[in-house]
Structure 1
């Protein structure tokens, strides 16, 4: 009876360990999405230690977009718009994998990028207002595709500067700023 009960005891310990492991994994799965939903950045760039993804803009008037992070990789296309907002999704040495508002992207040398924040207007004839209020007086109307410099942002509105016009715009009508992003 000694060897049979020892085997049963070991089996119970193994089952208990597996149950505790499953409970731990289930608990971790429950906590990770909550942190992401709260807007906490969980991923950091391996080179800069800055959050990923994050937004930047094109510093240069022209920049090659490559298939991989080196000069030996093929150029897939060329970005030709200075100040265009881009989203960095990965880092490798001096290279950043970027995406434009259409989700197209590739690898760009970091020297072609700027930390200056810009956005693209997503709605045609979007109005800029004097205050972050839909009833505030209009200062300008911007066409879809206009690139504007990004200023402060609250939960729903961002202050923009485009073509000498300044004002507030609804964040939901802009590409180049996070939905939960607050800027001073």
Structure 2
């Protein structure tokens, strides 16, 4: 088989398998991938699903958004905003959604979800905000002091695509 055709066939098979995974039943009953937040200010990240697996690092950011990319009945394999993959126990996650500005510059928050809308505030680099909802390419986020709209994909945690590979 020609290399280009082989790549096309392999790519099609991978895409079909990925599409099939979206509809599969998970131990929690929730879809994978999905976003959750870390419930505590200190969360152990492990190399595998169990306390007997090597400790990789400790997350120290309560409310940090992470993306669940795999799961067992008790453990969640998560992707973090820096691209790290690790396993955390399900009890340390929360279904509430948050987002983080991973860019090196402040992200503008707009009064309305449309191009050219008035900028009402900025979300600093590495700052967290609660995700209220997304619609038509825009997401409403809320901080302690204000709420506003950002374009979907501007902040980490606003797109449904898999963030880590």
CA-CA distance at 1:66 after TM superposition: 0.7
Instruction: Choose from 20, 34, 54 the match for 1:74.
Output: 54
Aligned to 2:135: 154
Do residues 46 (structure 1) and 26 (structure 2) align?
yes
- RMSD after superposition: 2.2
Higher gyration radius (CA):
1
Do residues 169 (structure 1) and 120 (structure 2) align?
no
Q: Could you state the TM-score of these two structures normalised by the residue count of structure 1?
A: 0.72
Gaps of 5+ in 1: 1-25
CA distance, structure 2, for counterparts of residue 70 and residue 155 of structure 1:
40
Instruction: Choose from 75, 97, 111 the match for 1:130.
Output: 111
Q: Could you state the TM-score of these two structures normalised by the residue count of structure 2?
A: 0.80
Q: How does 1:1-184 map to 2 (within 5 A)?
A: 33=16, 36=19, 42-44=22-24, 46-123=26-103, 124-178=105-159
Equivalences, count: 148
* RCO higher in structure (CA 8 A, sep ≥6): 2
Q: Is the 8 A contact 2:26 2:32 kept in 1?
A: no
CA distance, structure 2, for counterparts of residue 113 and residue 45 of structure 1:
19
Q: Is the 8 A contact 1:126 1:141 kept in 2?
A: yes
